[in-house]
Structure 1
Amino acid sequence: MKTGIAGQSSAGERHWQAIGQWFCFRALPAATGLLVTLLLVTISPARAAGELGEDGAGQMRWHDRVTGTYQAAITQQSSLDVRVAGMLAVVQLEQVFHNTTQSWQEGIYSFPLPEDAAVRRLEMQVGDRVVIGKVREREEAKVLYRQAKAAGKKASLVEQQRPNLFTNRIANIAPGEQVTVRLQYVQTARYNAGRFTLRIPTTLTARYIPGISRVLPEADAPALSAVGMQGEYPGWSLPTDEVPDAPAITPYLYPQAGSDSAPLNPLHLQVELDAGMPLAEVQALYHELSLARDGQRYRLHLAHGPAEMDRDVVLQWRPVTGAMPRAALFTEQLGEETFGLLMVLPPELAPQQANLPREVVFVVDVSGSMAGVSIQQAREALALALRQLRPGDRFNILAFDDNVRPLFASAVPATRHHLAQAGEFVRQLAAGGGTEMRPALERALASTAEEETPLLRQVIFITDGAVGNEQALFELIEQRLGRSRLFTVGIGSAPNHWFMQRAAQAGRGFSVQVGDVGEAAGAMTELFARIAAPLAADVRVEWPQAVEAWPERVPDLYRGQPLIQAVRFTDALPAGEVTVSAVLVGESWQTTMPVPAQPGNTRHEGVASVWARSKIAGLMALKSAGQPEEGIRTRVLEVALAHQLLSPYTSFVAIEERVSREPTTPLRSGAVPNTRPRGQGHQPYAYPNTATTGPAKAFMGCFALFIALLVHVMRRPEEDRV
């Protein structure tokens, strides 16, 4: 009997061991996979938004959070009227909002503008009625808008969330009604390597929001209200510890696919160009334009009617050989004050650094926002850059998304073997995951062990700049730059140009753009040619009288890069000369140009606005240097209110005095959709770091219960059955 019992007990042990193995190797992986799938679905607020309105061409819908149903959306179309004189462009952006729903609506539209745009006028039109907007302090403007909205008055509120990202709110749009909002701004054309370029963004690349969510949705409405986000912005992200204003820069409706044949957001464009000099070439890089010429004046418009707002509008013009002046001064009289904009071209010199060895660190963004054509452009740009390396150079590649993946542990010589390894690494790059830039920048800017080696250390950063924590990254670059120089390569149809330009400025470098695969070769060749050329260093400008100049200190200039400085004359415009000097390859260089006592034909509309915008940008850059924000805010407010400009601390508000909606009639808010940048792959779910922790806690709770049940079963005492 004992022997039988023992044998039966051994069989029971084997039976329970088999059950345990089945749980561990079959049931546990399957259950874990199922729970992970459920977690990904539940933490994805942008996934549902990404599915809205793709059931028909031009038919957009928004989700009514009260009824749980989908309603027709507010639609919008835009018109750009661009007038260029010299290097100054005065642009009028007209946005027409149409309420296709059966209820009163508040439209909320996020849109981009050039990072250097000086927004100086707002007007709202309803039927034949036109209301002129006023610049107010930001919080005051919000209060006025809320009061008008609650009272049933038509109102528009335009706010700057970033220097190149704005939000327009239009309250009390009646069913079937159209409301037109017009913004006027001034920007400067950029000059480089013999060409002027004017770039106007039209859509947004969704920005990655790093950090941990600070509050939970719905349940923590008071906490949301405390940070000014409750009911203000319908963004898909909550505030995080790194991006406290995340709801304001993450539109609720994820960018949708569009096309020129059936535009989701139609764009009308007309341009009048008077460069003030004979031109050899005028072109648009990403749109087909019709061109008419009258002497030196050109008129351009879209050749095939409205286009989809899914890529930047980029205009370029090239003066005929010898027509480009080496220096120019544009002036404007505003009241009793005179403002000036100076452009000086230092002479170009042949490359002098060809024999100096370099250490080049390539940092390439392979996050989800780079999916589609962008990752192809990045691979092509990186492959071309590798071909620019010379014997004696050292290099490394850092690919990043949620994590940083270096090709080598440290920089290696640019031998044929190492370049072959790099080529295979580049071919295998694929887009996915979040855009965690900080660890990649920290590693790229880390000091090398060979401090005594006289290498030119250059960091080439290839990205679309789709992040929300820009200010923290600028501060990191300035703090860690050391002897390195940072150059940015903007990728895609709608990159974050403000980030690209400002990061390069903080890194004492410059930025180039690759908007199409065909542009990669030219962009990378230009980048390395300019890197190899000598700098114009210790640049100084001396005026015949005291002026307030921005930027206050002119940076070193790379080959083909002009000196641009905006000034306010403290007295009447003086007669005399302005002197510009620099050091070129160890030699002193100097040039002068006359300053006329009267503006004459050099007078240009918008110079005063450019000066004010330059001063605001210069003041805001002081935050990276650690200056207190309160002092910066006071100085920015003084300039913005005096010149009636949009800024981080001021907003435009336009309110119609008549009541349109009875206050007792319900009013609903609906986000106006943006168009997905051309060529960008669809991103099926929101970025993981901004998801709330509720679903994660539920998953971990279920997983813990499962493990506890498994342990309980495994530890149950065996029952001997005789």
Structure 2
Amino acid sequence: MHHTHTSELALDSTQDQRLNDLDGRKSGNPGRPPATIPLWLCRIVLILILQIPGSPSIALAEQAPGSGSLILHTPQGNLESVMLDASIELQVQGLLADMSLTQTFRNTTGQWVEGRYLFPLPPDAAVRGISMRVGERVIRGVIQTRADAQSTYDSARSAGHIASLVEQQRPNLFTMRVANIPPGEHVSVQLDVMLPVTVVEQQMQLRLPTTLTPRYTNQATPDTPDLASPFALPAEARGPRLDVSVSISPLPDPASLSSVTVPFQRSENGLQIHGMLMNRDLVLTWQAPLENSTNIHAFTARHAGERYVQLLVNPPARTSPGKRMVRELVIVVDKSGSMAGVSMKAAIEALNFAIDGLTAHDYLNLVAFDDRHFSLFADARQATDAVKQQARRFANHLTADGGTEMGSALDFALRRNLPALTDSGMPPHDETADRLRQVVFMTDGSVGYEDQLLAEIRHNLGESRLFTVGIGPAPNSWFLQKAAEAGRGVSVSIIDEHDVARGITELLAGLIQPVLTDIAIQYPQGVGEIYPRPLPDLYAGRPGSWVARLSRDVSEIIITGKHDGKRWREQLSLPADDAESTSALSNSAPALAMHWTRRKIDSLMDEQRYAADDSLNKQAITRLALEVGLITPYTSLVAREQHPRRPGNQPLATHRVTNLIPEGNRMLTVGMPRGATGVDMLIRLSLLLSVVGLLLLTLSRVGLHQGACTGSRAR
């Protein structure tokens, strides 16, 4: 197992010498020959002992085994009691997209049922409306506080009314509940969603998740039952299917529209997909209609008496290569059970690709984790050929198992081991201070305690920068993006082992350092409120997408920052007529206003996430969400039919919709549940006890042999 390999790397020369000294060591009892214990047996015992929490080891964390569990429920009975089909109609206009998501719940039983479905959405989605179709009738939903919406739904459910409720469990995870679906019939629920479009390297991109990787939870996870969902492989259940229709404007080059995750049929201004298995993210890219000579693209609009501007800011190119800094690269890789299959293969390939890209001037360390963390070295070492060979051996022996306890691994990677003060009371010279310290975090992000991890990243970051690599066909994109934001870095994604070169090359070559830092906005006349807040550093090829609400007298915006160590300044004059635009990437005024409100709510949530008071901005968020009709942690959408359908004497059964396990994931094919609490510990303990028993048996035989020899000599 890879654990054995890792612990061998953790043994220092002194420990190894002690093992060698065991061979031929004389007993303290004179007159008796030494009891020779096979050296290989001693090594195995020591290595297994080092795997037990609390054992001394340079690279193995001293911590209790993970006290968490994987939210991986096996449904009882029929996997398809409630079947789900979905359809997406996507209208992309400039930098925003309107998505109509329809979920159809089909009751295949002879009972009245309630369907429950845990489903993902893009991390920056704005869910702003709901309607429910029952036969020919369409029922419009309303936004309410979470408690009021729950009460409305529960009363309708109990009284036999067909009703639906949508709640946010995480920023990218939602639950849909549909009550009182008649036997053999179906109910359709349509969600109105707005999405921002990402721009990277002159490419527009949309990533639409269709399933999720089962979440690992521990004591820090809030609302654990809300993350529960049954999962199945396509061979075990039909699973949800998806139809997609996409229209993009402007699309100057239709041939540039592509997808690396699913085949599609081209249409006049977009594409069509029919019957897609919902077991992977749908990733769409197309050429951005941008002028390379323009640094800032802007669009202004007026809505409900307010004025808004959307900005797309291209960072300037580096004017000089500058002095090459020595890089200290610490790669943290997830080897928990949810990574089994294609994700683990991609992670190992990514590790090898990154190792090969280092020079002898760089420094390297690797950290792997499941229930606990394992490091290659106690501190980063110079990337000599020998060190790189050790790193490759470490990487290639990784296997996916155990829980997903990320905290200790991130803490180990982010901390700096500085020596104590000198005799003069002054801190010693830190030789690592001249290094460019990068922590690369490779994971599928499949955890339920994201907020705790984000707070720890921000607290422990220091002078490092944290970059995240989302691994697999359905990663937790929201957590990966937020972790990179907290770490003052960026996030990239790798779908499988064939996608490694693109992602790692972009990360280690183009994203070494930001090209624009200390960014600020000034308004010579008037005032503005811009988001995100604070404005993040910009990296090469990754424009900043910002949105602001302005007073009427703002006629120009000045953006300042630091570029190549010098002050950088750009001035933008806004059109006098808000119907005009300086970019082809324009959007409707209501959409732009909604986008600004969504970004403000996100900013308030971020402020609250890192504050001591976990309800610091609850009232402000609730007020904003109710004003515009957005789902948040504190507001939900609910719809109910006016007249009851289910007879009072008929019971109501609840069935969860089965999600498909992400494509290529092997966590369901193993005999023991991956990520279950204590699985790794039980395996190690059983191996240890077996070896100890073998050792005792060997010693007893040696003792009998020695006794026989002594008796023979006495005679």
TM-score by length of 1: 0.79
- Supply the distance in 2 between the matched residues of 1:111 and 1:127 (Cα, whole angstroms): 24
Task: Note closer, same or farther for the CA distance 1:523–1:688 as it changes in structure 2 (3 Å cut).
Answer: closer
Task: Note closer, same or farther for the CA distance 1:616–1:78 as it changes in structure 2 (3 Å cut).
Answer: same
Residues 602-653 of structure 1, C-alpha deviations (whole Å, 9 max, x = no match): 4523211211111111111113332423331011111111110000110000
Task: Note closer, same or farther for the CA distance 1:353–1:206 as it changes in structure 2 (3 Å cut).
Answer: farther
- Supply the distance in 1 between the matched residues of 2:450 and 2:572 (Cα, whole angstroms): 39
- For residue 346 of structure 1, what is the amino acid of its counterpart? P
Q: Is the 8 A contact 1:353 1:534 kept in 2?
A: no
Task: Note closer, same or farther for the CA distance 1:687–1:371 as it changes in structure 2 (3 Å cut).
Answer: closer
Task: Note closer, same or farther for the CA distance 1:70–1:528 as it changes in structure 2 (3 Å cut).
Answer: closer
Task: Note closer, same or farther for the CA distance 1:161–1:354 as it changes in structure 2 (3 Å cut).
Answer: farther
Residue 631 of structure 1: SS of its match in structure 2? coil
**In the TM superposition, what is the alpha-carbon distance from 1:477 to its structure 2 partner?**
0.3
Task: Note closer, same or farther for the CA distance 1:244–1:633 as it changes in structure 2 (3 Å cut).
Answer: same
Mapping for residues 206-217 of structure 1, pairs under 5 Å: 206-210=214-218
Q: Which residue of 2 aligns with 1:709?
A: none
Q: Which residue of 2 aligns with 1:532?
A: 512
Considering only aligned residues, what root-mean-square deviation do their CA atoms show, in Å? 2.6
Q: Is the 8 A contact 1:85 1:276 kept in 2?
A: no
Q: Which residue of 2 aligns with 1:496?
A: 476
Please point out which of 489, 493, 502 is paired with 1:513: 493
- Supply the distance in 1 between the matched residues of 2:624 and 2:293 (Cα, whole angstroms): 33
Q: Which residue of 1 aligns with 2:329?
A: 360
1:616 equivalent to 2:616? Answer no
Residues 338-378 of structure 1, C-alpha deviations (whole Å, 9 max, x = no match): 33221111222267366211211110000000001110000
- Supply the distance in 2 between the matched residues of 1:127 and 1:332 (Cα, whole angstroms): 39
Q: Which residue of 2 aligns with 1:281?
A: 256
Q: Which residue of 2 aligns with 1:441?
A: 410
- Supply the distance in 2 between the matched residues of 1:45 and 1:355 (Cα, whole angstroms): 44
Mapping for residues 108-187 of structure 1, pairs under 5 Å: 108-187=116-195
1:407 equivalent to 2:385? Answer no
Q: Which residue of 1 aligns with 2:459?
A: 479
**In the TM superposition, what is the alpha-carbon distance from 1:263 to its structure 2 partner?**
5.0
Task: Note closer, same or farther for the CA distance 1:322–1:330 as it changes in structure 2 (3 Å cut).
Answer: closer
Mapping for residues 503-652 of structure 1, pairs under 5 Å: 503-543=483-523, 544-569=525-550, 571-572=551-552, 574=553, 576-602=555-581, 604-605=587-588, 606-652=591-637
Mapping for residues 218-367 of structure 1, pairs under 5 Å: 241-251=219-229, 253=230, 255-258=231-234, 264-275=239-250, 281-293=256-268, 298-302=269-273, 305-319=274-288, 322=291, 325-349=294-318, 352=321, 355-367=324-336
Residues 214-237 of structure 1, C-alpha deviations (whole Å, 9 max, x = no match): xxxxxxxxxxxxxxxxxxxxxxxx
Q: Is the 8 A contact 1:280 1:320 kept in 2?
A: no
**In the TM superposition, what is the alpha-carbon distance from 1:244 to its structure 2 partner?**
2.9
% identical aligned pairs = 38
**In the TM superposition, what is the alpha-carbon distance from 1:562 to its structure 2 partner?**
1.3
Residues 549-573 of structure 1, C-alpha deviations (whole Å, 9 max, x = no match): 112321111111212221122x44x
Q: Is the 8 A contact 2:364 2:382 kept in 1?
A: yes
- Supply the distance in 1 between the matched residues of 2:351 and 2:140 (Cα, whole angstroms): 49
Task: Note closer, same or farther for the CA distance 1:405–1:292 as it changes in structure 2 (3 Å cut).
Answer: same
- Supply the distance in 2 between the matched residues of 1:485 and 1:561 (Cα, whole angstroms): 17
Task: Note closer, same or farther for the CA distance 1:430–1:688 as it changes in structure 2 (3 Å cut).
Answer: closer
- Supply the distance in 1 between the matched residues of 2:301 and 2:362 (Cα, whole angstroms): 49
Q: Is the 8 A contact 1:326 1:346 kept in 2?
A: yes
- Supply the distance in 2 between the matched residues of 1:528 and 1:559 (Cα, whole angstroms): 12
Task: Note closer, same or farther for the CA distance 1:96–1:374 as it changes in structure 2 (3 Å cut).
Answer: same
- For residue 552 of structure 1, what is the amino acid of its counterpart? R
Residues 367-409 of structure 1, C-alpha deviations (whole Å, 9 max, x = no match): 0000011100001111111122122111100011112111112
Q: Is the 8 A contact 1:87 1:275 kept in 2?
A: no
Between 337-346 and 444-453, the greater mean CA deviation after superposition = 444-453
Q: Which residue of 2 aligns with 1:53?
A: none
- For residue 286 of structure 1, what is the amino acid of its counterpart? T
Q: Which residue of 2 aligns with 1:383?
A: 352
Q: Which residue of 2 aligns with 1:80?
A: 88
Q: How many corresponding residue pairs?
A: 596
Q: Is the 8 A contact 1:277 1:323 kept in 2?
A: no
Q: Which residue of 1 aligns with 2:662?
A: 677
Q: Is the 8 A contact 1:351 1:532 kept in 2?
A: no
Residues 285-308 of structure 1, C-alpha deviations (whole Å, 9 max, x = no match): 211122234xxxx22112xx3110
- Supply the distance in 1 between the matched residues of 2:246 and 2:574 (Cα, whole angstroms): 31
Residue 599 of structure 2: SS of its match in structure 1? helix
- Supply the distance in 2 between the matched residues of 1:351 and 1:658 (Cα, whole angstroms): 71
- Supply the distance in 2 between the matched residues of 1:440 and 1:44 (Cα, whole angstroms): 18
- Supply the distance in 2 between the matched residues of 1:277 and 1:200 (Cα, whole angstroms): 23
**In the TM superposition, what is the alpha-carbon distance from 1:87 to its structure 2 partner?**
1.4
Q: Is the 8 A contact 1:133 1:655 kept in 2?
A: yes
Residue 355 of structure 1: SS of its match in structure 2? coil
Q: Is the 8 A contact 1:575 1:594 kept in 2?
A: no
Residue 518 of structure 1: SS of its match in structure 2? helix
Q: Is the 8 A contact 1:349 1:534 kept in 2?
A: no
- Supply the distance in 1 between the matched residues of 2:83 and 2:598 (Cα, whole angstroms): 31
Please point out which of 611, 633, 648 is paired with 1:663: 648
Residue 658 of structure 2: SS of its match in structure 1? coil
Q: Is the 8 A contact 2:438 2:466 kept in 1?
A: yes
Task: Note closer, same or farther for the CA distance 1:482–1:629 as it changes in structure 2 (3 Å cut).
Answer: same
Q: Mark the runs of 5 or more structure 1 residues left unpaired by the alignment.
A: 1-42, 51-61, 64-68, 211-240, 697-702, 704-722
Residue 568 of structure 2: SS of its match in structure 1? strand
Q: Which residue of 2 aligns with 1:199?
A: 207
Task: Note closer, same or farther for the CA distance 1:355–1:631 as it changes in structure 2 (3 Å cut).
Answer: closer
Task: Note closer, same or farther for the CA distance 1:71–1:428 as it changes in structure 2 (3 Å cut).
Answer: closer
Residues 472-514 of structure 1, C-alpha deviations (whole Å, 9 max, x = no match): 0000001100111100000000000001000000011000000
Task: Note closer, same or farther for the CA distance 1:277–1:581 as it changes in structure 2 (3 Å cut).
Answer: farther
Task: Note closer, same or farther for the CA distance 1:351–1:323 as it changes in structure 2 (3 Å cut).
Answer: closer
- Supply the distance in 2 between the matched residues of 1:678 and 1:136 (Cα, whole angstroms): 37
